[in-house]
Amino acid sequence: MINGALMETKELGKTKEKIPALGMGTWKIGSNESEGIEALKTGIDIGMRFIDTAEMYGTEEMVGKTIEGMDDMFIATKVSPNHFRYDDVIKSCNRSLEKLKVKQIDLYQLHWPNSSIPITETMKAMEKLVDLGKIRYIGVSNFSTKEMKDAQNALKHEEIVSNQVEYSVLVRYVEKEILKFCQDNKITVIAYSPFGSGKLYGQRSNSMYDLLRNVGSKYQKTPSQVALNWLMSKDRVMAIPKAANIAHMKENIGALGWKLEDADMNKINDFLSDERPMVWSLNPLVKRTSSFWARLMEYKEMGRNMRGKTK
Ligand code: NAP
C-alpha cells in the first residue's frame, strides 16, 4: 500500500503490514487551512505517506483535502474520550470518514483512556467498525500497560496494533514500562511530540540540545534529525513530528536513510536532561498528572479553535 520511495518502514503491530517509520502530525499545523495543506503536500512530495490527525484537532477536513485522489496514504485518526459510548464511536467514525473523504480509516485510535465508560462497550464498537470495513486497524493512545491489557481483553477477534504516546529525548517515562511491554507484545509505539512540542528549541542552550548537535556533527545531521533518528532506531518505535514550516518538514525527512551508531545511541540514552531530571520524566504518576493538565489545556484550545471555525 505504501509507495513513498524514500520511506523506511516499521511493522504495524503483528499485522505484517509495513508502515512508514516517520509520519506527519497535524495538531496545530498551520495558522490556517491553506498553510496546513501546503506543509502536508510538501511532506507528501518528498515521500511522507503517514498522516496522524484526530477528531479533536479540527484538522481532518484539511487532511481530507490534502489527500483527495491519493490511494497510497496511511491515515490515522482518533476518537475522543467523550465519544466512547457504542453509538458515539460509530457516529464519530462516520464523521471522520466524511471529513477525510475516504472509505476506510487505516488506523482508528482511542485518543485517551476514559475510565467512566466500560472499555468493553468502546471496543465492541471498534470491532463493529472493522467488520463494516470502515476502519482497518485498532490503536490506542496515552494508555498505560494495564489499560492496554484491559483494552486487549475487551476485544473478541481484533488486536491492538499501536499505542501513541509522548516520547522524545526530553520525555522518556514510557521507557519505564510501556516501551518494553509494546516491544514484547509486538505493539507499535507511535511517538508523539518527538521535539517535546517544540521545547527542544526553546532550550537551545541546554545540554541535551548541545549533545544532539555534537552527535549530529559526526553524521552531518541536525539536532532535530538526530532526535528523530534516536526514536526510530528503537525497536517498534515510529515518530510523528509536526512541522508547519516547509523548511522544517524537509529537514525532518533527513532523519531517514542513516543510523546512529550504538555508542551515540547510548550517549543519548544515558543523558539526564538538566531541564527534566530523570526522576521527573520517569515517574508515571507525576507524568500522568502533568499530562492531564497539559491535555486539558490542549482540549480547551481545540474547543476554542472549533468554536472559532463555526462562527
Ligand atoms: P512536536 O512535533 O514535538 O514539535 C512541533 C514543534 O517543533 C513545532 O513548533 C514545529 O515548528 C517545531 N519543529 C518541527 N520540526 C522542526 C525542525 N526541524 N527544526 C525546528 N523546529 C521544528 O510537537 P507536537 O505537535 O506536540 O507533536 C507532534 C504530533 O503528535 C501532533 O501534531 C499530533 O499529531 C500528535 N500528538 C498526539 C497527542 C496525543 O494525545 N495522542 C498529543 C500531542 C500530539 P513549525 O510547526 O513551525 O514547523
pLDDT for the residue numbered 96: 98
221: left (phi over 0), alpha (psi -120 to 50) or beta: beta
Residue nearest to ligand 1 atom 18, measured at CA: 248
- Cα 146 to its chain centre, rounded Å, is 20
pLDDT for the residue numbered 285: 43
What whole-number distance in Å separates Cα of residue 256 and Cα of residue 254? 5
Number of Cβ within a 10 Å radius of residue 297: 10
pLDDT for the residue numbered 254: 95
How far, in Å, from the CA of 124 to the mean position of ligand 1?
32
Which numbered atom of ligand 1 lies nearest the CA of 242?
A: 2
Low-confidence ranges of the chain (pLDDT < 50): 1-5, 274-290, 293-294, 304-311
Residue 270 lies in a domain: yes
Full residue range of the structural domain in which residue 68 is found: 9-310
| Backbone φ, ψ for residue 269 (5° rounding) | -55, -40
Which residue type sits at 217? S
Residue nearest to ligand 1 atom 38, measured at CA: 192
Q: Which of 164, 201, 242, 252 most suits a substitution to test ligand 1, by most atoms within 8 Å of the C-beta?
A: 242
Question: Beta strand pairing status for 50-52 and 74-79?
Answer: parallel
The CA-to-CA distance between both ends of the chain, in Å, stands at 39
How far, in Å, from the CA of 273 to the mean position of ligand 1?
20
Residue 2 lies in a domain: no
The runs of H, that is alpha helices, within the chain are 33-45, 60-67, 86-100, 119-131, 145-153, 178-184, 199-202, 207-219, 223-232, 246-253, 262-269, 278-281, 284-310
Residue nearest to ligand 1 atom 16, measured at CA: 248
How far, in Å, from the CA of 258 to the mean position of ligand 1?
22
Q: Which of 195, 229, 246, 302 most suits a substitution to test ligand 1, by most atoms within 8 Å of the C-beta?
A: 195
Residues near ligand 1 (Cβ within 6 A): 25-27, 52, 111, 141-142, 164, 192-198, 201, 224, 240-245, 248, 251-252
Number of domains in the chain: 1
Which numbered atom of ligand 1 lies nearest the CA of 52?
A: 34
Number of Cβ within a 10 Å radius of residue 128: 15
290: left (phi over 0), alpha (psi -120 to 50) or beta: alpha
Query: In the numeric block, which cell numbers belong to residue 110?
Result: 482511542
How far, in Å, from the CA of 90 to the mean position of ligand 1?
29
How far, in Å, from the CA of 226 to the mean position of ligand 1?
15
How far, in Å, from the CA of 112 to the mean position of ligand 1?
18
How far, in Å, from the CA of 28 to the mean position of ligand 1?
8
Interval 40-81: pLDDT, tens: 999 999 999 999 999 999 999 999 999 999 999 999 999 999
Which numbered atom of ligand 1 lies nearest the CA of 111?
A: 41
When the pLDDT of each residue in the chain is averaged and rounded to a whole number, the result is 88
How far, in Å, from the CA of 43 to the mean position of ligand 1?
14
Residue nearest to ligand 1 atom 8, measured at CA: 198
CATH number, domain containing residue 18: 3.20.20.100
pLDDT for the residue numbered 207: 81
Residue 257 lies in a domain: yes
How far, in Å, from the CA of 3 to the mean position of ligand 1?
24
Residue 3 lies in a domain: no
